[in-house]
Every structure is written in C-alpha cells, then in structure tokens.
Amino acid sequence: MAWSYDNQLTGKIMEVVVSVMLQESNYMVLPYGYEQTHPALCQKWGKGIEPTRTLMRLRTSPDLLIYDNVEKTTKIAEIKSHITESANHWIDNKTIQNYFSYWGDCILVEIIPKEEVFYAEYITKLASKNKPSAEINLFIRENFRPFYEIFEINPSVFEKYKKKTLLIMDSLRKG
C-alpha cells in the first residue's frame, strides 16, 4: 500500500484505539515509533538520507511500548490496519522478515473489519512460518491469533472497542 495522508490518519486512529483498549485493561502504553521519537528524521526520510542498517532499524520501530501492570513485563507492538472489506487480508513475507531482522520480539497487531477485528502474533512465530526468501503472503485470520489471546483484555472491553472500530472503519471507507 502506497503512503498517503489518509493511510497515515487511519494508522494513527487505530494506534489510539489499541492504546486506549490496553489502558482500559490495566496496561501502561507509551508511543514508541520513530514518528514519535524521531520526528525530525521523519521529515528527512527519503530526501537523500542513506538507508543504513541503523536508519532502517529506527524506521521500523514498533508503534507502542506496553507495560503489563500485572505480569510486570514489557512488550512492543506494531499496529497495522486494513479498512477494506476484502475476503482475505494478508501481510507480505518481506514485511515480516524486515520486522524479524530488527524487532524479533515485537508483536504484530493487525486490525481488519472481519470476525474478531483485532488479531496479533509474535513476529518470531510469523517468521518461522516462512523462509526469508519466500514469496508467500500470510493470511491474517489463518496465521494470527485473536488479540485477547496475547493481551489479557476484559471481554466487555474487547467487544466495546471491536464495535467502535468497525464503526470507525466504515466511516473511513465512506470518506
């Protein structure tokens, strides 16, 4: 998907939805992605700056830093969303391998307007399903777990944000 202001807006909205749902479920959530931590670098990205390994690691920084107040553990998560009503939503292997190269312990959260809406999986588990050179795409509903299997979310909180997210996605599709 090509970059656009509409896609950027959708991504930010979905980050906020995930963040608030987690906060309501007793997690502490902090913005982490390079857009938050290195805004000046964002402005220079693609304007002659050399794409070094360090820069690529910064560029692929996950969106959220999540502290579990109960387990006393910290996780990082990358949030992706697809607002189209496609029969099959997928993520390409190249994207998975890029995250695996820099952020193997990251959780990839995919938000789609189907069934559970919020799906998640550890990058290490996704990367192990494919060889680095594979041209295979992973279908989200077949390769990701429902979000609440990775993050402990109260079922009523999950249902509330699932409904809100479907309304938001419908509104975004209509423009």
Q: What is the pLDDT of residues 25-64, one digit of tens each?
A: 999 999 998 777 666 665 666 667 777 887 777 778 899 9
Both tokens of residue 103? 């952020």
Rounded-to-integer distance, Cα 4 and Cα 84, Å? 15
Q: Rounded to whole angstroms, what are the CA distances from 72 to 6, 65, 69?
A: 36, 13, 5
Which sign does the torsion angle of CA 69, 161, 2, 129 carry? positive
Name the packing angle between helices 5-24 and 155-174 (round to 10°): 170
73 vs 68: CA distance, rounded Å: 5
pLDDT attached to residue 10? 87
* pLDDT tops 80 at residue 131: no
The half-sphere exposure of 9 on its side-chain side, counting CA atoms within 13 A, is 9
pLDDT confidence of 146, banded at 50, 70, 90?
very high
Residue 109 has pLDDT above 80, yes or no: yes
User: Which stretch, 27-36, 116-125, 137-146, has highest mean pLDDT?
Assistant: 116-125
The pLDDT value recorded for residue 173 is 85
* Rounded-to-integer distance, Cα 85 and Cα 62, Å: 25
* Beta strand 64-68 pairing with 73-81: antiparallel
Helix, strand or coil for residue 135? Answer: coil
Contact present, 153 and 133 (Cβ < 8 Å): no
**Which amino acid, one-letter code, is at 131?**
K
pLDDT at res. 161: 97
pLDDT for position 98? 81
What 8-state DSSP symbol labels residue 40?
A: H
Joined together, the tokens standing for residue 66 give 């999540």
Instruction: Quickly name the fold that domain 5-174 has.
Output: Trna Endonuclease; Chain: A, domain 1 (3.40.1350)
Q: Which of 85, 77, 84, 98 is nearest to 144 (CA)?
A: 77
pLDDT band at 142 (very low <50, low <70, confident <90, very high): confident
> Does the structure show a pLDDT above 60 at 132?
no
Residue listed under structure tokens 């950027």: 8
What pLDDT does residue 95 have?
A: 78
Neighbours of 152 (CB within 10 A): 13
Percent of the chain with pLDDT over 70: 83
130 has a pLDDT exceeding 80: no
pLDDT attached to residue 137: 67
pTM comes to 0.86
